[in-house]
Amino acid sequence: MKKALAPVLIMVLLLGLVMGCSSNDGQTANQQAIADANSGEGKSGKTKIQFWHSMGGNNGEYIDNMIKAYNESQDKVEVIGTFQGTYQETLTKLQQAVPANTAPDISMLERGFVPLLAEAEVLADFYPLLESTGMSEDDFLPGLLDNVKFNEQLNALPFNRSTPLLHINKTMLDEKNLKVPTTWDELATVANALVVKENGEFKRYGYSMPYASWYPIAMIQQLKGAFFNAEGTGMGFNEEGVKTFEFLKEMQTTGALFYPPAQDSGNIVNSMFASGQIGMMMESTGVIGRHAGIVDFDYVTAFLPMKDQQATPTGGANLVMFESSKHKEAAWDFLNWVFNDPKGGQQFILDSGYVPFTKKMAESAEMKAQWEEVTARKVAFEQLEYAFDSNNHAAFAAVDQIFLKATEAIMYDNADISSTLDSFKKEAEKLMKE
């Protein structure tokens, strides 16, 4: 199975398409930590494990707390956690590290990038590791396992995962006797009813969403299309894509939809929602903590409005172990603790607000108590019943970039929807065949 040269070359080429020329920024600071981890022995005599992650700010502190709790729980393994920047920056550094044989033992990896590294055959198989401690994939929530299995291996396991939700200013809806929308038609009715226009300018919009691909991908799936076809040879939508963008453009024209600029779109949309400039937004579960108990209106969340079926994509990142790791047993000891100890991943989920990723975690008294206190968080878990992940192709990272370019042309420049999507599909299918 180790056809290593060709897959790694493919990985480097695809990453180059997405990331452009990568730099060595941040590598010098990590060189000693990597060297120490590769040596296998820390000052205390413990086996040292290198763990790369993409959590900054408060979430970074929660990761640090989790690692500290593990290191203090036993005397054989020492985990060294290193923040590597955004998901994309972490991927770029892994691109440098894998061929240089300086990859970490384990890493956080955005779920859409897993297929790329799995097809490059640089990720370890979790099946035997799970079996060694009496676990199986059945211990994890099925809605989070759609793009973690390749070539009959289990190459990743869920960790900080999320779904998009409809976040709602319920006070605003109540003032107009409007119900929370559950379908596209209801969304159009409610969003248009919330619009405020004065002197030719929109003072309030019905709803918004950040600049990202997973919202239109969700809508395509709700029309019973798919991003990739089942064979992995091309795209899985035709009229579904056209209908999706026709709906978005019609809503944009009336002010029912505010489509933000690409730069800093998340902060823009969330700030407008908090200030009452938009009544609803499609956004990640990860922003619940930014609004629950903080905004001065009745804040609730709901499933994404459906069309022909319920469907929601998943986001966030998984955990992977690298085949090159010399300390797989020690690295698995840490991950097994993360998955099973209440002070491990469960505490991180409680602190951060990501969705629980094991069945045991979802059934815990602590999780249920949090859902009772902040009901918005439970909605995200319940929506996992309709979760899908159509990012299970090695070319996803590159295809996603040109899909976003097509989105920009349609949403910003009013390009013809049908011809723009046709051009996108031809370019995407060419990439998928390379």
* 394-431 pLDDT, tens digit each: 888 889 999 999 999 999 999 999 999 999 999 999 99
The band of 43, judged by pLDDT with boundaries at 50, 70 and 90, is: low
pTM given for the model: 0.84
As a whole number of angstroms, the distance between CA 434 and CA 72 comes to: 48
Say if residue 309 is in the same domain as residue 408: yes
The pLDDT of 290-302, averaged and rounded, is 94
69 occurs within a structural domain = yes
Whether residues 307 and 222 fall in one domain: yes
Residues 319 and 367 in one domain: yes
Residue-wise pLDDT for 129-181, tens only, equals: 999 999 999 999 998 998 899 889 999 999 999 999 999 999 999 999 999 99
**pLDDT higher than threshold 90 for residue 26:** no
pLDDT of res. 389: 74
Q: Give the pLDDT score at 391.
A: 66
Domain-embedded: residue 188: yes
In percent, the amount of the chain with pLDDT more than 70 equals: 89
Query: Dihedral sign, CA of 25, 26, 32, 35?
Result: negative
**Residue range of the domain that includes 241:** 164-313+395-433
pLDDT higher than 50, residue 37: no
- Is 384 contained in some domain? no
Asked whether residue 289 falls in the same domain as residue 425, the answer is yes
Show the tokens assigned to 393. 């192709």
The dihedral built from the CA positions of residue 281, 286, 289 and 292, taken in this order, carries a sign that is positive
pLDDT at 18 over 60: no
Which residues, other chains included, contact 273 with Cβ-Cβ below 8 Å and sequence gap of 6+? 167, 169, 208, 280, 281, 283, 291
Residue 37 backbone dihedrals phi, psi, to 5 degrees: -65, -40
Q: What is the mean pLDDT of the chain?
A: 90
In this prediction, residues 70-75 reach a mean pLDDT of 97
Residue 280's CATH number:
3.40.190.10
Structure tokens at 84: 């590597």
Same domain, residue pair 170 and 149: no
Does one domain contain both 298 and 321?
Answer: no
Q: Establish if 387 belongs to a structural domain.
A: no
How many domains does the chain contain in total? 2
Q: Which two tokens stand for residue 5?
A: 């040269």
92 and 193 share one domain: no
Three-state SS at 123: strand
Average pLDDT over residues 237-254: 98
On whether residue 9 sits in a domain, the answer given is yes
Highest mean pLDDT: which range of 13-17, 269-273, 352-356: 269-273
Give residue 326's pLDDT: 97
Same domain, 74 and 145: yes
Residue 28 has pLDDT above 50, yes or no: no
